[in-house]
Each structure stands twice: as C-alpha cells, then as structure tokens.
Amino acid sequence: MSDRIADIWGARTPHGRGTVWPARVDLHLADGLGEWEVDRWVQSACLLCSNGCGCDIAVKDGRMVGVRGRATDVVNHGRMGPKGLYGSTPWARSADRLTRPLVRDNGRLVETDWDTAMGRVVEVSRRLLAEKGPLSHGFYTSGQLFLEEYYALAMIGKAGVGTPHMDGNTRLCTATAAAAFKESFGADGQPGSYTDIEYCDAIFLYGHNMAETQTVLWMRILDRTRSADPPVIVCVDPRRTPVAQEAERTGGVHLAPRVGTNLALMNGLTRELFVNGWIDEAWVQAHTLGVDDLRTSVERYHPDEVGRICGIDPDDLRRAARIFGESERVLSTVLQGFYQSHQATAAAVAVHNLHLLRGLIGQVGSGILQMNGQPTAQNNRECGADGDLTGFRNWDNEQHVRELADLWNVDPLTIPHWAPPTNAMQIFGYAEEGSIGLLWISATNPAVSMPESARIRRILGGDQCFVVVQDLFLTETAQLADVVLPAAGWGEKSGTFTNVNRTVHLSEKAVDPPGEAKSDLDILLLYAAAMDFRDLDGAPLIGWSTPEEAFDAWRETTRGRPVDYTGLSYAKLRGPTGIPWPVNDGAPEGTDRLYADAVFPTATDYCETYGHDLLTGAAVTEQEHRAMRPDGRAFLKAAAYTPAHEEPGDDYPLLYTTGRTVYQFHTRTKTGRSRSLNRAAPDAWVELSVPDAERLGITEGDVVRVESPRGAIEVRARVGHVMAGAVFAPFHYGSWDPTGANCDGRQANELTMTVWDPVSKQPYFKTAACRVVKVRDGDGPAPAPTTAASASASPGVPATGGGAATVSRVVDTPVYPNDPAQTVPAGGA
Amino acid sequence: MHLVTYIGLVHRAEQTLADSFRVVGQGHAKEPDVLFTCQALAQMSDEHVRRLIPIIDRYGEQGHGDDVEEPERLHASGLAEVRSGPVGLLRDLQDLHVLGTLVQTTWTVIIQAAQGLRDHDLLKVARDAGGETARQLSWLNTRMKAAAPQALIVAR
C-alpha cells in the first residue's frame, strides 16, 4: 500500500540503456474496495494531464470507483500518477454536478428543461445569423473533449455557421507546440517518442517541470537516471524543481534564466554549436533551409552577453551547449516555461534548430517532445475546432479548402479561409466590443484560466454578448452565462483522444451521466439539428449521430494528410494498447517516431502553413514559400531577443510568473473534488526567494498582497526555491472551493496581462511585473506542497502526505508494438 | 548628385514611419498585438535611421535651401493621431502601409544607385533596411487581412 501524495512517483524500476521500460501496475479504489469487489473494468485512458496513460475504469453498483493502469499500454506500462489515481472518478459523484439546464431569468440562473434552454440558444443564434451573419458567432472550446466532439464542433462552426471565430483553451496551453512544428517542419505532429528516453545520452527539459506536470513520464526518466548508465539531464527553469535537482545529480546543468529571456539563452546555445563545430554540415546541407541566416542571427549572443541578459553564469551555458554538442543521442522536451513566456514560438523553434543542426531527429534516442498541457489538446489541433483547419490542412491553400468542402459537400466559401482563423484572445476582444454576439464555451473555465481575470469577467458578464456554457459544474465561467448546459464527463460517454505522443486511445462509457446531463457530442448535434444545417444537396450537414460514426467520418478527412488515421477503428482501438498515428496500410500498428527518412512535410502543396516571421507574425505568402522550394527540407528559423513587454521597475520591482502544482489540474474542477489531492494543495500561495523575502520582512506563511498594474491577490507566502527577483503563483485557484467558502482574491490571473505571442498567439502568463507587501503574520506554513518545486526553504514545515492507499505492483513486462528495445537488437537502431 | 536627395528622403521617411508606428501603436493600445508589434517595427526604422548616419556623414544630406534642387512634394507626412474603432484601425494600418511603400521604393532606388557607385557600405545598409521594410509591410498586410472582415461586416 503506498501513499502517492507523499510518494509522487512511486518505487523505482531502474533498467539499463536500450532495454524496455519494466511494467508496473498502479491502482486506486475508493472506499477501501478490493479489486475482487469491482463489478466491471472499462477500457479508457487518463484525462488528468497530456501524457495519456492507458487505464481501466472500475465500476461498482453503477458508479465509477477508481482506476487501474494498463500494463500492456505503450504509454505508461501500467503506471498512473497521483492526479490520475486520486482524481479520475470522485468528481462524478459530487453533489454539485449540473443535472439540468439553466437559463438566466431576471438576472438569475434558474433550472429548466432542454427544449427551453436549447430553444433560447437557437433563437439568439438564428437572429444573429439573419441580422449580422456568421461573424457574430464565436466558439471557445477546451483541451478536454473527445476527438469526435471536436470534429462535430469543427463541422458546425466551419461548415454550418461558417465562422472563423473558433478556438479553445488549447490556445493557452499548446498553441506554441503546434506553431513551432509548423514553422520548422511544415506541419503539426510530434517528431519524437517516449521510447527515446530509453536510448538517449542526454535529456534537455526546457521550461518543463515534468516531475509535476507529467508524473508518469518523469517516472520513466527516473528509471533511467537512477540506473547504472544514466543519461545526463539539463534543466532550464527559474525554479529549483525536481528536474533541476536531477540535473545536478546526473552531472548536468540547471540554467535559471531571468523570466522572459528564454530566446537569448537559446540563441546563445545555438551560437555555441556553430562556434565549436558541433554541426552535421552534410545533413544540414541536404535536409534544411536557412542555415546561413541562422548563423548570422545568433552571432551576437556570446556566452558573456547571454550571461548578462539572462543572469546566468556563461560557463553554465557553455557546459550545457557542450552536453548537447557532444552527446550521441539527445532528447528535448518543452512546455509552458517556454510556451507561456516571452517570444514563445521563436524559443520553441530554437529547440528544433539545435536538433536540426546536428541531424538529431527521426532516430531512436534523438527526439523532440513539444508537450501539451491538456489531455486532448492534440485532437483539437487535428480536428480544427481551434484555429486550425481540419486534418492539418492549410487555410491559405485553396486546394486544401476545396478538399474539405468536397468531403463535407459545402461551398468552399462557407469555410472561412480568407484570413488566419481568429485566436482566443481576439475572440474575447470581439466579444468585448459586441461584434461577437453569441459566445459558446464548452468544457473550460476562462474566468479563471485566461489572463487579466477582471477583464474576462466583465466580458462574460456583460449584456453585449450572449454566453452559452456547457460543463460538468457551475464553474466561475458558468455562473456568468446566459444558458448553462449540463454535460456528461469522462467515463459517462465514449470517444477517442490522442496524447502528446500521437497515441490514440478509446475511452468507453462506463456509467450513465447524472440527471439530464448529455454528452458534449449529443449537445452539439442537438444544436446542429435545431439549426437545420444542410449540405449542397439539401441533406443534413451532419449525417451521423454516434461517437463511432463520428470517428469514421473524421478518419476519411485524414486520408493523405500527415495526421493519418485511416488504419484506425474502434475495433482496433479495443486492443491492448493505444496506437500512435500515422496508422495506415504502410504502418498498420502505427508509427513510433516521425521523420525517420528526414523528409519533412514542407512541400508547398502539402504543408499546413507557409510560415511566419517569428518576430512579427507576418505571414509568408504562397509565392514566397514556393520560391524557396522547401520540398521536404526543414526550416531553420531565428529571431533576435527583445526585452519582455513589462519589465520590472520602481513601482513593480519583481517578475511575476504563474504555473502548476503536481496535485491540481487546470482550474481544479476534478482534482479539487478529490480529498487526497485537495488536502495536499488546498489553497493558493505565492513563492518568494529567500533574499527577496528577507528584504521584504516576510517569513513562511505570512499573508502577503501581490499586485500588478491589473489587479491584486492576498495569499500566503512560501519562502522557497524560486529564483531571486521572481514571484511564482499557481494558477489553479479561482473563487470556487470544495469547502463551499467563497474565495475571492486569490486568483493568479488577476495580475497577468493581455499580450500574446505573434506567431502562436499563445498568451504570456509568465512575463508580468509585480510588487509584494506583507499584510499580516501567518498562523502556520503556506498551503503549498513540500514534495516538489514548491518545497519550503525553512525547516519545520510538515511534509505533505496523507493520500489514500494505492496499490503498486511490478508485473511481467509484456511485448509492446513498435518498442525499439523489443523489435531491434539491443543497442542497435 | 540626386542620390543625396534620396538619402535625405529615406532618412526623413524612415523617421516619419517610426514615429507613425508609435502613434498607431499607442492609439490602438487596446489591441495589444498592435501596440507591441508597432513598437517593434518602429525600432526597426529607428535602427535604419541610426545606420544612415555614417552614410550621411560621407555624402551629406540636402535639406531645404536655395541651392537644393529638390523635387516638389518630396516628403510624405506621417500620422499625428489615430482614428477610433475597428474601421479606424484598418485605415490607420493602410496609412502605415502607404508610408512603408514609400520607404521601400526609396530603398530600391538607393540600392540601384549604390550598385552604380560600387558603394558596398551603402549597398549593405540599403539591402538590410529594404529587407526589413518588407517585413514591416508583410505584417501590416497580415494584420489588415485579419481585421478586415469583422471591421467591415459586423463591427458596431
């Protein structure tokens, strides 16, 4: 029995380089139930981070009572993390689930039936379409729906209504990953594989506290770093995270650049490769474009200059570059420390550049993992319910649009493709000015998750825009809506989703949703039917109704595209493991890593984008792209470092950065309702460095006021391991609390600013300036966990623990399809 | 030599473009991408102006005066204030584009002359700056395309 709050990653199963990761099955059942007491196990995958661990849902007396990792799944080899174990099912039985639709009458939300609620939506929708046309509609979705639901939403928005205003919470979490892939390789698609962990000599984690955000993937790394022949870790992070500690332990480097200076650091690393000749000239010549411009662009980033800009020791930069330059195989991973910070796309693209300069891509052990934040973000990008065009098509390519119009049997001009699709921040801007009059939000909570909260509340609560929200609970966002639609959650509906590693899982329905709650797919199809959307022949636009039919329809749109699902079906996905796309006649069991042939999807007629200027976001035209004749070569692109938009000054002397803790996910809708998880991180806090705290007269647990030009919060202070000059705040905590208390004044996004990356349009959550003042003495330590990056610098803070019992058992390691350790001779490839 | 006239023209026009980018950025600060991108693009023009200084030191720069044979209506005026609302933003971006086009064609003309004179330094400055002017124009074009449908069809 193990407490996975206290022991986040569980026991180690170390193993040698080039051998298969041993299997270990983790499980947790509620109420002390034994495995033998479970009525049914229903196949699924975990939805509480982007890792996508295969699992089975335990059902007892018609209720979901726990989860068990699937030993046969290629993603997790049976393991589960604390969020998955403790957080997957308790929310479903929560007394405050939405069970009936709500409509706003006389300023108050009141219960009603589906006919009335959907009737109001349809009435407003029809009126706006008649008066102002499709540009009056906006859809803001999630990174947590299923593929089938995104696909239905994409068809409704792009071919039914015909609006370019579609985006999702994916814009906040993963847009930079997608944008960086498109800029470098021509199309979205994760190049690397988790199996690279078993073969690499060095792992670079850029702004990626994997130990807390993807705990199972971190277990996989720990099982290599704690073996006899470990890889070296290099960590780029302003906090001393468990990743940073592992970097020190393995003889690697922890680089802690000043918040907002990532690109200067990356340009410095790139320059070191050129200066030291760590370049595969022949490979670069054959497979890339732009090396001369890149060399010129990074020329002025001498280690001393980078040290000055980033506040790091120039020799640390040299050491990190040497590890990259001299290791035979390198794996790089990237997350929000880059995506949500200044010059996001340029910094993420720079990671690609390093790999391309050495030809370290497409081979076992040499990969790139541009991570996602949310579990199904990948599907939103694939289906195009966000700013993308369905099937990784290029909205700027008339032929691609025609293909899609033929598949959907609509006029190509119905599908908005005259300009870039509208990004989330711009959608909220249009809703603010009222030119979007209907905003439909599904399965996400922008009132807590978007920057500059006061502004978002004003937009959602105002009369200028009619707001529809579909969700499991009456979230901070739903409370501001005009119509609230009760949705079924994970385990209460069927569908597929794809993890950050391109691996597709089927998640089957285990139990019925409560009351009148409906699956998101059914809700969307109800709207489509009521609006009577038709195709060119007068038939209903959407001719299918079940998740499996939706999947089959989607599959047809992927034929001939990089995101090839043509070899997948529900029947195939009911096998022992999730399957990574592309899956087709040539790769019936899927594909472990992309670009093994070093041919990239950059051909002008095939690519998903013609690219952008990384500094300004200006679009490259088709003619310009064609003139470069990329023809399968990858792009090396660069930008100069520029200072962040808000630098600390006299009034606001500290840098403000937001982030995550291991025990909570997103805005806590699920994790906050798990007793084990919520007790471990029950309330908001901010982290200060020891020297800053001393200067400000603040000690552990004191209540402090943190203020930026946009807002303020009052929370308790953890004096911990953030870099001096910076303040860290977890973004999870809104006004809702499971205790029922109203907790205003603790939401991290009150302080963040409305500004976004020019290419990916991802908002910057990590580049504001703030000041901190002590309000009063504390009555104990801050409510921050001690087990990971938020650990206290002061002694005597009780260790975080107290999680319910879980089981963890090592089992015989199965044979995994595509695993190089089992399909090629050991040490080969 | 009329090249001197054109060096004066590009000097003034780049300065005007930089100032106008700043005016439009500040005036439309409610659109953060416009604010911050205009600031970055203004800095590009600032840099062009800075790099022109040694060129001007060599060739001189003709201003207004009795001995100057300067074509009439040589200089374009910049944007002193912005228009309001979504359509106003669109028009302001169009005005910037017109100014940017003047700068671009001026650099084109100077590049031709620099080649004729085999002046490598001037050629480098003019080519670099002309390339960045193209980036400024590309962004304006991209941003106008994005803003146009909403501004022209549904904006209040």
Residue B105: CB atoms within 10 A of its CB come to 14
**Interface probe with B: pick from A300, A415, A616, most Cβ of B within 10 Å:** A616
Q: What is the pLDDT of residue A829?
A: 42
Q: How confident is the model at residue A827 (pLDDT cuts 50, 70, 90)?
A: very low
Instruction: Read off φ and ψ for residue A360, nearest 5 degrees.
Output: -95, 70
- For the stretch A303-331, pLDDT in tens is 999 999 999 999 999 999 999 999 999 99
Residue A430 tokens read as: 């249009």
Residue A238: CB atoms within 10 A of its CB come to 29
Instruction: Report CB contact under 8 Å: B155, A435.
Output: yes
Q: Which residues of A touch B (CB under 8 A)?
A: 132-133, 135-136, 164, 418-420, 422, 425-426, 429-430, 433-436, 613, 615-620, 642, 645, 753-756, 758
Q: How confident is the model at residue A525 (pLDDT cuts 50, 70, 90)?
A: very high
Q: What is the pLDDT of residue B156?
A: 74
Q: What is the pLDDT of residue A667?
A: 96
- For the stretch A660-709, pLDDT in tens is 999 999 999 999 999 999 999 999 999 999 999 999 999 999 999 999 99
Q: DSSP labels for A175-207?
A: HHHHHHHHHHHSS------GGGGGT-SEEEEES
Do residues A298 and A276 lie in contact, with contact meaning Cβ atoms separated by under 8 Å? Answer: no
Residue recorded with tokens 């330059």: A325
Instruction: Report CB contact under 8 Å: B145, A756.
Output: no
Q: How confident is the model at residue B75 (pLDDT cuts 50, 70, 90)?
A: confident
Q: What is the pLDDT of residue A828?
A: 43
**What own/partner pairs with CB < 8 Å and gap ≥ 24 does A295-302 have?**
A297/A267, A297/A638, A297/A639, A297/A640, A298/A267, A298/A268, A298/A270, A298/A271, A298/A274, A298/A638, A299/A271, A301/A264, A301/A267, A301/A268, A301/A270, A301/A271, A301/A641, A302/A268, A302/A271
Instruction: Report CB contact under 8 Å: A613, B135.
Output: yes
C-alpha separations of A409 from A540, A542, A543, A557, B73 in Å: 10, 10, 12, 12, 56
ipTM of the complex in this document = 0.92
Q: What is the pLDDT of residue B69?
A: 59
Task: Return the ∠ at Cα A743 (arms to A740 and A747), rounded to 5°.
Answer: 135
CA distance linking residue A687 with residue A371, whole number of Å: 25
- For the stretch A763-772, pLDDT in tens is 999 989 999 9
Mean pLDDT for the stretch of residues A27-40: 96
Give A182 to chain B, closest Cα distance, Å: 18
- For the stretch A66-105, pLDDT in tens is 999 999 999 999 999 999 999 999 999 999 999 999 999 9
Identify any residues that bridge with B72 across adjacent strands, giving them in sequence order: none
* % chain A with pLDDT above 70: 99
Q: Locate the chain A residue with the closest alpha carbon to B155.
A: A435
Q: How confident is the model at residue A826 (pLDDT cuts 50, 70, 90)?
A: very low
CA distance linking residue B13 with residue B3, whole number of Å: 15
CA distance linking residue A383 with residue A144, whole number of Å: 13
Contacts of A164 in chain B (CB under 8 A): 149
Do residues A160 and A535 lie in contact, with contact meaning Cβ atoms separated by under 8 Å? Answer: no
Identify any residues that bridge with A770 across adjacent strands, giving them in sequence order: A654
Instruction: Report CB contact under 8 Å: A420, B142.
Output: yes
Instruction: Report CB contact under 8 Å: A616, B37.
Output: yes
Mean pLDDT for the stretch of residues A379-386: 95
Q: What is the pLDDT of residue A1?
A: 82
pLDDT, greater one: A717 or B79: A717
- Give A175-371's CATH code, choosing from 3.40.50.1580, 3.50.50.60, 1.10.287.1080, 3.40.228.10: 3.40.228.10
Q: Give the one of A425, A616, A753 whose C-beta lies nearest to B139's C-beta.
A: A616
Instruction: Report CB contact under 8 Å: B31, A617.
Output: no
Q: Which residues of B touch A (CB under 8 A)?
A: 30-33, 36-37, 40-41, 86, 135-136, 138-139, 141-142, 145-146, 148-150, 153-156
- For the stretch A414-469, pLDDT in tens is 999 988 889 999 999 999 999 999 999 999 999 999 999 999 999 999 999 999 99
- For the stretch A551-563, pLDDT in tens is 999 999 999 999 9
Fold annotation for B2-63+84-154 = Ferritin (1.20.1260)
Topology alike, domains A102-173+376-489+512-552 and A175-371: no
Task: Return the ∠ at Cα B140 (arms to B136 and B142), rounded to 5°.
Answer: 115
Task: Return the ∠ at Cα B5 (arms to B3 and B10), rounded to 5°.
Answer: 95
CA distance linking residue A150 with residue A442, whole number of Å: 10
For chain B, what's the residue count?
Answer: 156
Average predicted confidence (pLDDT) for chain A: 96
Determine the 3-state secondary structure of B20 from DSSP: helix
Q: DSSP labels for A358-410?
A: HT-SSBTTBEEEE--SSTTHHHHHHHTSSSSBTTTB-TT-HHHHHHHHHHHTS
Do residues A680 and A5 lie in contact, with contact meaning Cβ atoms separated by under 8 Å? Answer: yes
Q: Give the one of B32, B150, B155 whose C-beta lies nearest to A754's C-beta.
A: B32
Contacts of B45 in chain A (CB under 8 A): none
Give A745 to chain B, closest Cα distance, Å: 25
Q: Give the one of B31, B153, B155 whose C-beta lies nearest to A133's C-beta.
A: B153
Identify any residues that bridge with A205 across adjacent strands, giving them in sequence order: A235, A333
Asked if residue A23 has pLDDT above 60, the reply is yes
Q: Give the one of A133, A645, A754 whose C-beta lies nearest to B154's C-beta.
A: A133
- Sequence-separated (6 or more) residues with CB below 8 Å from residue B40: A615, A616, A642
Residue A432: CB atoms within 10 A of its CB come to 18
C-alpha separations of A8 from A23, A111, A236, A749 in Å: 17, 41, 22, 27
Fold annotation for A2-93+807-823 = N-terminal domain of TfIIb (2.20.25)
Instruction: Using alpha carbons, select from A646, A630, A606, A761 the residue that is nearest to residue B142.
Output: A761
CA distance linking residue A218 with residue A213, whole number of Å: 9
Do residues B18 and B46 lie in contact, with contact meaning Cβ atoms separated by under 8 Å? Answer: yes
Q: How confident is the model at residue A178 (pLDDT cuts 50, 70, 90)?
A: very high
- For the stretch B99-147, pLDDT in tens is 999 999 999 999 999 999 999 999 999 999 999 999 999 999 999 999 9
Instruction: Report CB contact under 8 Å: A615, B154.
Output: no
Contacts of B135 in chain A (CB under 8 A): 613, 615-616, 618
Contacts of A753 in chain B (CB under 8 A): 32
CA distance linking residue A8 with residue A234, whole number of Å: 21
Do residues A186 and A604 lie in contact, with contact meaning Cβ atoms separated by under 8 Å? Answer: no
Q: What is the pLDDT of residue B63?
A: 57
Fold annotation for A102-173+376-489+512-552 = Rossmann fold (3.40.50)
Identify any residues that bridge with A805 across adjacent strands, giving them in sequence order: A3
- For the stretch B43-72, pLDDT in tens is 999 999 999 999 999 998 765 555 555 565
| CATH classification code of A654-798 | 2.40.40.20
C-alpha separations of A199 from A97, A329, A419 in Å: 46, 7, 43
Q: Give the one of B31, B142, B149 whose C-beta lies nearest to A617's C-beta.
A: B142
- Sequence-separated (6 or more) residues with CB below 8 Å from residue A344: A176, A338, A757, A759, A760, A762, A764
Identify any residues that bridge with A774 across adjacent strands, giving them in sequence order: A704
Residue A570: CB atoms within 10 A of its CB come to 17
Instruction: Report CB contact under 8 Å: B31, A435.
Output: no
Q: What is the pLDDT of residue A341?
A: 96
Residue A291 tokens read as: 């090396």
Domain ranges of chain B: 2-63+84-154
Residue A67 tokens read as: 């989860």
Task: Return the ∠ at Cα A715 (arms to A710 and A717), rounded to 5°.
Answer: 115
Q: What is the pLDDT of residue B1?
A: 79
CA distance linking residue B96 with residue B112, whole number of Å: 25
Q: What is the pLDDT of residue B72?
A: 58
